[in-house]
Structure 1
Amino acid sequence: MAVAVPAGYDLIVLGGGAAGLATASRAVADGATTLLVTEGAPGGDCTFTGCVPSKTLIEAAADGLPFGKAMARVRDAVTRVAATEDEAALRENGIEVLRGRARFVARDRIEVDGHVLRAPRIVIATGAAPLVPPIEGLDGTPALTTDTVFELDERPSSLAVLGGGAVGCELAQAFARFGVEVSLVEEAGRLLPDGDPEASALVADLLTSEGVTVHTGTRVESIRGDGHRITLRSATARIDTHRLLVATGRAPVTGTLELEAAGVSTDRAGAVIVDRHQETSAAGVFAAGDVTGLFDNTHAAYAMGRVAAGAALRRTRRPAFSSAAIPRVIFTDPEIATVGLLEHEVNDPKARVAYLPMSEVDRAIAAEATTGFIKLITGPRRLLGDLGGGKLLGASIVAERAGELIGEPALAMTAGMFTGRLAQTVHAYPTWSMAVQQAAAQFFGEHGGRTARKVGGGTS
């Protein structure tokens, strides 16, 4: 292979996903000569196997498209997005791209297909890959993963989804809407076990109403099957299915990097350990995105990448990453969005919760989409107490537009605003976002027959 790039750079980025692209873009904007090394096409999981195809499939299912046309839409969306971040587009923006597998040979040197490249600062952004659980027989069973499910050409007659987290719930609902007989299996006692319990219960009821068979508290002990029929067995259930989708999470990709050559430490899960500036245990080596295990969303990976680049190129006033005000969204219908703390995670006895069911929001009534709720959680400020409504600790929203609605609470938390600003801001009527204003008003007295309550005090 002829490498038409110099051996030395200001910054080398390993990985072409969201974190890697953000790192490289920020570095070039700061005037650094930058090389992006990627095994696959730039864009990474989000573009090819994650956000873009999954959300396109979800939208296609909601629109009632036949499965074949839905998958064609998925491929078209991936192609269109990928074209905005391919090698030619990156080079136009000043980012040099090298395709190949990288490994460390020293703290400031990597080797790519026999060629050694140097940089005083290197950022690891190699992402994560599907985690396949150690279940008897799974290795010999033709199973789909979240990386391969979008390669399907024909609609399966039935599908078992192993894993009731965000991706499992999203795809279970989408496939059910295509007329597939779906079984959703989760080992924990409820779906979305890391989320708001009320939201979890709502989603379980919703999926059941749409024909999904939900198995919670179910540990699959063995799997057997071929290309025609697959059987999952647990102590309490036997599930026969045409296809199996494993959606049990993802694991950091570091296996071929030879991190020990650079002195980079990882935790027991294989995630690269970083400080708040995204710097690893090796000076001058940084990491961003899913490979750190900090926050497994594309927008968080992008934020980490920008922090890593800024911190790598500055000696003083280095930026720092915090996930405190980064939202999460689950794209079921209705959507589930959270930012900050969930109610059951709050320990402050002085914290309060404003709760508003979507059935009391005029826009939701007009749209006949009244399933869901808003929770805003506040706590007292140091010295100022509850003045101005106190500070916003977190928000949970279940609604048709929850992913859009969560932006306002996230902004309030990022800016350190008084919660009262959400109530004072005039919102257009009738909009979904008025629900945020209505909920925030409860911290200042009765509004619509509701007032804020203490944490843990129920939903009414």
Structure 2
Amino acid sequence: MRADLCVIGAGSGGLSVAAGAAQMGARVVLVEAGEMGGDCLNAGCVPSKALIAAASRAEAVRSGGLGTRGAAPETDFAAVMAHVRATVAAIAPHDSQERFEGLGVTVIRAHARFIGRDRIEAGGQEVTARRFVVATGARPVLPDIPGLADTPHLTNETLWSLDTLPGHLAVLGGGPLGLEMAQAFRRLGARVTVLEAGQALSREEPELASFVLSRLRAEGVEIRENTPVRAVRQANGEIAVETENATITADRLLIAAGRRPATAGLGLERAGVETGPDGAVRVDARLRSTNRRIFAVGDVAGLGQFTHLAGYHAGLVVRAALLGLPARLRHDHVPRVTYTDPELAQVGLTEAQARAKWPTGIETILTPLAGNDRARTEGLTGGALKLVLRKGRPVGVGICAPGAGEMIGLWSLALATRRKLTALPSTILPYPTLSEVSKSAAGAYFSPRVFDNAWLRRWVRVIQSLP
């Protein structure tokens, strides 16, 4: 079988490349051994956000407030999981084999392995292509903990098979996935303990992460930081998790200790494709591997594990591989969101990253959400926006607020187009909205430069003295 482009992996990045290439007239072969739609649809973004939405409904009933009386919610966990699966099923046709075959893509449902620099074998067929795109995603990492391999445990790939709410869920890992699921299961009625070897949400701005951690603890999630797990075992129908100071027993154990690029078994060495220590494909600024015929997009490229990043990668590859146009990767405008309540969003550099890159010229503005009128109307007090600037230009923004994932888009655009901060004060935002905290942050930067400017004061006096 011959093709212009062969895509290995039918997740977000691979599907975007295949659809774009096919609709531009290229002969495309798409190879996928697992479920169409990849991790995002089947085990990541979609099911997790559907679960979070159900848990948010339960918390709204429980918390009440603003003159309404809270009450214990009646939750049906089996119905919640049915909602999760129905959501996945509703989106699945967009990523289905039938849809892509309708676009003219040849779909092979089998494992692919390279047998040369320009060919693969999949399902007993050989495919030769001018270009290949590796889009195989990532898989959960299982820490090297004694007893873990022999103890029943959940990952984001197996969590969705649950039909019974755990009485006590232990979560190993205090990153975004671990905390999102910890809050959701706690709101649905489970007892939850999070065990983190270091600091929870360690990649994020500490001032903003503290709001999230405080909220989860207030809701009853037990978060134990600087608590490495020494061993895991199953005993008397329970799971025992041993730390230095205590042993925690739980009904279920969720492993949320990160994900590793999925390149095992692809035979990349036969194609002259180098990988890094974590298994990620080594790519250049055009996402080409050490074999110029082969590109890598999404998680497998080792540049970040976000569905929207995979989509961005796909656009660059279509531009470069199919149209022959210049396309170079940028990292400075890629947002990320932790979908806890409140949400925590970041784009660009954190303060620590900015100061490590530029020892001088860094300024920060921290604007509390409590000063925002819309926040006051909704009784919101926890949250803030942190703006990191270098020579008056934003290089990073973090937001902790309800809907922070929606609010960060304004700053993603600003960083993508390399706008100066002066563009924001002239932008009219509707009142009252939480988005106005962005203008407040800009105002906090400009106010002392305008109102404390002696030269400007003298100029105003000159103008006012004229007839």
Whether 1:124 and 2:134 are equivalent positions in the alignment is yes
CA distance in 1, matches of 2:388, 2:23: 38
Partner residue of 2:416 out of 414, 432, 436 = 414
CA distance in 2, matches of 1:327, 1:161: 25
2:109–2:123 contact (8 Å) kept in structure 1: no
Q: Which residue of 2 aligns with 1:397?
A: 399
Partner residue of 2:231 out of 203, 222, 234 = 222
1:160–1:245 contact (8 Å) kept in structure 2: yes
Whether 1:9 and 2:3 are equivalent positions in the alignment is yes
Whether 1:49 and 2:43 are equivalent positions in the alignment is yes
Name the aligned partner's letter for residue 332 of structure 2: A
Which has the higher Rg, Structure 1 or Structure 2? 2
Q: Which residue of 1 aligns with 2:351?
A: 343
Partner residue of 2:84 out of 74, 77, 91 = 74
Name the aligned partner's letter for residue 25 of structure 2: G
Indicate the SS of the match to 1:62. helix
Change in Cα spacing, 1:407 to 1:54, as seen in structure 2 (3 Å) is same
1:14–1:20 contact (8 Å) kept in structure 2: yes
Q: Which residue of 2 aligns with 1:294?
A: 303
Change in Cα spacing, 1:409 to 1:92, as seen in structure 2 (3 Å) is same
Q: Which residue of 2 aligns with 1:365?
A: 376
Name the aligned partner's letter for residue 73 of structure 1: H
CA distance in 2, matches of 1:261, 1:443: 55
Q: Which residue of 2 aligns with 1:155?
A: 165
Q: What TM-score comes out, normalization by structure 1 length?
A: 0.91
Partner residue of 1:139 out of 118, 140, 149 = 149
By how many angstroms is 1:314 displaced? 4.0
Q: Which runs of at least 4 in structure 1 moved beyond 6 Å after TM superposition?
A: none
Gaps of 5+ in 1: 1-6, 381-389, 451-460
1:26–1:310 contact (8 Å) kept in structure 2: no
Name the aligned partner's letter for residue 436 of structure 1: S
Q: Which residue of 1 aligns with 2:54?
A: 60
Deviations 1:347-400 (A, max 9, x none): 2422222221000011111112221000111112xxxxxxxxx32101000000
Partner residue of 2:115 out of 100, 105, 116 = 105
Whether 1:278 and 2:287 are equivalent positions in the alignment is yes
Name the aligned partner's letter for residue 365 of structure 1: R
1:303–1:321 contact (8 Å) kept in structure 2: no
1:295–1:323 contact (8 Å) kept in structure 2: no
Q: Which residue of 2 aligns with 1:318?
A: 326
1:27–1:310 contact (8 Å) kept in structure 2: no
Change in Cα spacing, 1:29 to 1:226, as seen in structure 2 (3 Å) is farther
2:35–2:42 contact (8 Å) kept in structure 1: no
Partner residue of 1:263 out of 272, 275, 283 = 272
Name the aligned partner's letter for residue 109 of structure 1: R
By how many angstroms is 1:125 displaced? 0.4
1:378–1:391 contact (8 Å) kept in structure 2: yes
Indicate the SS of the match to 1:195. coil
Gaps of 5+ in 2: 59-74, 453-467
Partner residue of 1:328 out of 323, 331, 336 = 336
Deviations 1:309-354 (A, max 9, x none): 3222244x32122121010000000000000000122224222222
Question: Percent identity between the aligned chains?
Answer: 40
Indicate the SS of the match to 1:203. helix
Instruction: Please give the root-mean-square deviation of Cα atoms over the aligned residues, in Å.
Output: 1.6
2:101–2:107 contact (8 Å) kept in structure 1: yes
By how many angstroms is 1:227 displaced? 8.2
Change in Cα spacing, 1:226 to 1:32, as seen in structure 2 (3 Å) is farther
